[in-house]
Amino acid sequence: MLKRFGLPIVAVLTALLFSGPSSSAAPYPGEALSDEAGWHCTADGSRAGWTLLASPQAGSLFSPLIKQSHGVITSWGVRVGPGLSPLAQQLGVFRAVNGGEYTKVAESAVETFGVGSEQLQTRIAVQAGDFVGLHGPLETFVCAEQENATSALFEGGIALGETRTFKAESGVRSPVAAIVELDADGDGYGDASQDRCPESALFQTDCPLVALSVGEVTVKRGAILIEAGNNTEASLAARGEVRWWVRPKTGGGEAHLSKGRRVTVGLGTVAPKTVTPGATVELRVPLPKPVLRQLDRRLPRQALRARIDVVGTNLVPYVGTHELKIKLPGRARPQQPR
Ligand SMILES: [Ca+2]
């Protein structure tokens, strides 16, 4: 027992992997994840140079506007009726400024659509209230002869960022159709089909599982030092406590009858430390004065036990905890046998 006295007390723990509950995609109801914008009517004609918006129609319960406050158009297309020649078309996203003014805030690539209903993949960030519209460099597909329909029309092409005054054109609708997905983390990737980690804008692949690793634990004179790391960038902290019993100071034979009073002293890092993947940080847990005094009174074999949780808070909303039990041997010099 005495041999251990005076040796540095180092507890080496093998690196422990800790995986908490999976942080992969939370289930959303399918209806909320994706929606449609545009009228999805079938083009039966075309007009030279038009920019035609999918405008809401009085008396219609369906809104052709973007519904998601954070959304991404993940695919779009034009349904082309029989007898029409293929045409190059471009989807535009427009934001109402005031009255009949609209600003073009986004656009797709120019794609050619022939007879049928082809839907092409894209990735365009949008917000609630945005309009989808269609324009062709030569001619723009339209759904003509639409009873009671009035749509916003600008006769010409519009560059990205430009604001133009549209007029109300009766009897037509735009055949442009878009699938819009929710983008809860606002990373510009649709959460249903493009984003495998919709909880974090940092990842579009599967959310990383957190693996908190705890390495060497060293008990120094005034502090416990804990090496720790994480597989992703995270904020690491340690917190815990030391407990011991204080026996009553009665000189008589009653002392052994009572267990005494329990003392609990909190431990913790002063501030969390940020760790990057592959690196380790040293967490310093100071030993408060009452603990130091207690250790100074105890022989090495009369160790105190510190219980410490190493807590990693990942950038993905996730917290992992690793619990440590650390032996704090007493530091009193044993009395030499005479
Ligand atoms: Ca997303």
What's the pLDDT score for residue 318?
54
Q: Quick one: how far is CA 13 from the chain centroid?
A: 32
Please provide the average confidence, as pLDDT, over all residues in the chain.
84
Confidence class of residue 19 from pLDDT cuts 50, 70 and 90? very low
* Percent of the chain residues topping a pLDDT of 90: 61
What is the tens place of the pLDDT at every residue in 169-195?
Answer: 999 999 999 999 999 888 899 998 998
Give the integer Cα–Cα distance in Å for 328 and 295.
8
Task: Using the mean position of ligand 1's atoms as its centre, give its distance from the Cα of residue 238 in Å.
Answer: 32
What is the tens place of the pLDDT at every residue in 206-241?
Answer: 877 668 899 999 999 999 999 999 888 888 999 999
Task: Using the mean position of ligand 1's atoms as its centre, give its distance from the Cα of residue 182 in Å.
Answer: 7
Q: Which amino acid is at 5?
A: F
The predicted model gives 322-334 an average pLDDT of 85
Q: Which amino acid is at 222?
A: G
Q: Say whether pLDDT at 4 is over 70.
A: no
Give the integer Cα–Cα distance in Å for 45 and 42.
9
What's the pLDDT score for residue 251?
59
Task: Using the mean position of ligand 1's atoms as its centre, give its distance from the Cα of residue 128 in Å.
Answer: 15
Task: Using the mean position of ligand 1's atoms as its centre, give its distance from the Cα of residue 195 in Å.
Answer: 5
Task: Using the mean position of ligand 1's atoms as its centre, give its distance from the Cα of residue 132 in Å.
Answer: 20
- 227 beta partners: 282
Is residue 36 within 8 A of residue 240, CB to CB? The reply is no
Q: Say whether pLDDT at 69 is over 60.
A: yes
Task: Using the mean position of ligand 1's atoms as its centre, give its distance from the Cα of residue 199 in Å.
Answer: 8
Q: Say whether pLDDT at 99 is over 60.
A: yes
Give the integer Cα–Cα distance in Å for 320 and 118.
46
What's the pLDDT score for residue 315?
64
What are the structural domains, with CATH classification, of the chain?
2-23+208-328 (2.60.40), 30-182 (2.60.120)
| Most confident segment among 158-167, 211-220, 239-248, 252-261 | 158-167
What's the pLDDT score for residue 86?
97
Q: Which residues surround ligand 1, an ion (CB under 5 A)?
A: 183, 185, 187, 189, 191, 195, 198
Task: Using the mean position of ligand 1's atoms as its centre, give its distance from the Cα of residue 206 in Å.
Answer: 12
Task: Using the mean position of ligand 1's atoms as its centre, give its distance from the Cα of residue 111 in Å.
Answer: 25
The predicted model gives 46-52 an average pLDDT of 97
Give the integer Cα–Cα distance in Å for 153 and 180.
23
